[in-house]
Amino acid sequence: MHWLVEWLRDALLWQLVPVVVVENVVLHVVAIGLGEVASRRFAHRRVSEPAPPTTRLELTIVCATLLMNSVTTLAAVLLWRHGIVRVRWDPTAWAVVDTFLLLLVMDGAMYALHRVAHLPWVYPWLHQPHHEYDKPRPLTLLILNPLENLAFGLLILVVLAAYPFHVVAVGVFFVFNIVSGIVGHLGVEPLPDWWVRTPVVMNVTGGSFHARHHQDVTANFGFYTIIWDRVFGTLRKDYASRFGRLPEESTAPRDSRPE
Ligand SMILES: [Zn+2]
Ligand SMILES: [Zn+2]
């Protein structure tokens, strides 16, 4: 680990750029591959209709998204070098506290950002391309307008610059972020039915929650938890009763009127 930190601190830009791009590509290829395996494994628990064949346009957008993700990663490393983004290394219980803090802060901030993305004067040019895919698959996670991807990148950089989170918290957050994103776009529900009846864990999202957002763009705006949707009344009323099941009504996307 120590050698990696030293390398990140000392590497020249031309050495850093290809490593960051390859790291992003490998990470997402592995995550999407595992997501495809999970989609097949839990095919008996479909929460959205199967996605049509992948198009060349989708693959082009995915490449652009991976490049934008690499820009964010590179910016994080450079900001860390300049002392603007700081992380703590002390081996204390703060690692656990910081992990929950970072996940909760980002969950709330991303809920707010997602609500903004659905405002009528923002949605058509920023977020609608993601919603063209009402039958999500793992790859759909990366079908993003470069600007909304940039907004998410800026958000995480601002949060990381605002407070020196423990290095474990930052690592866990990035793993949880990609796992949660893939699970939300599986098109199947890998979690058991008792999940939505069990206190505490019932607030953590699975495959059903975000699939419903692709089918009904007026509800389910959260990412990691359903807490903010509960607070602001945007949780689908049938979320628990249709957990792990296809929606009863048509899966055609509705228009983007905010609540
Ligand atoms: Zn989505
Ligand atoms: Zn949305």
Q: Does 256 reside within a domain?
A: no
- Alpha carbon distance 214, 131 (integer Å): 6
Ligand 2 centroid to residue 80 C-alpha, Å: 31
Q: Are 243 and 195 in contact (CB under 8 A)?
A: yes
Q: How far is the CA of 243 from the centre of ligand 2 (A)?
A: 19
For residue 156, the CA-to-ligand 2 centroid distance in Å is 18
Q: Identify the domain containing residue 76 by its residue range.
A: 2-232
Nearest to 240 by CA among 229, 255, 256, 253: 229
Q: Please indicate, yes or no, if residue 244 is contained in any of the structural domains.
A: no
Does 246 map to a domain?
A: no
CA of 11 to the centre of ligand 2 (A): 38
Please count the structural domains in the chain: 1
The Å distance, Cα 218 to ligand 1 centre, comes to 13
Question: 82 is written with which tokens?
Answer: 């300049």
Kindly give the distance from the C-alpha atom of residue 217 to the centroid of ligand 2, in angstroms, as a whole number. 6
User: Are the CB atoms for 88 and 169 separated by under 8 Å?
Assistant: no
Which pLDDT band, with edges at 50, 70 and 90, does 4 fall under?
Answer: confident
Residue 239 within any structural domain of the chain: no
**Cα gap 86→167, rounded to integer Å:** 9
Q: Can you give the pLDDT at residue 106?
A: 97
Specify if 181 maps to a domain.
Answer: yes
Find the 11 Cα to ligand 1 centroid distance in Å: 35
Residue 80 has pLDDT above 50, yes or no: yes
Residue 5's pLDDT is: 85
pTM: 0.90
- Contact assessment for residue 87 and residue 102, using Cβ atoms and an 8 Å cutoff: no
Distance 229 CA to ligand 2 centre (A): 13
pLDDT at 1 over 90: no
Q: What is the largest CA-CA distance in the chain?
A: 56
**Is the per-residue pLDDT at 52 higher than 80?**
yes
* 14 falls within a domain: yes
Instruction: Tell me the β-bridge partners of 126.
Output: none
Backbone φ and ψ of 240, nearest 5°: -70, -40
Does residue 126 surpass a pLDDT of 60? yes
Model confidence pLDDT, tens digit, residues 104-124: 999 999 999 999 999 999 999
Collapsing DSSP to helix, strand or coil, 204 comes out as: strand
How many C-beta neighbours within 10 Å does residue 248 have? 8
In this structure, what token pair is assigned to residue 149?
Answer: 């991807």
Indicate whether 207 belongs to any domain.
yes
Query: Could you read off the pLDDT of 161-211 as tens digits, one per residue?
Result: 999 999 999 999 999 999 999 999 999 999 999 999 999 999 999 999 999
Residue 245 has pLDDT above 80, yes or no: yes
Identify which ligand lies nearest to the alpha carbon of 220. Answer: 2
- Find the ligand nearest to 210 CA: 1
User: Is the pLDDT confidence value at 258 over 50?
Assistant: no
- pLDDT reported for residue 3: 85
32 against 133, higher pLDDT: 32
CB contact at 8 A, 137 and 62: no
Q: Find where tokens 């750029």 sit.
A: 17
Per-residue model confidence as pLDDT tens digits over 146-158: 999 999 999 999 9
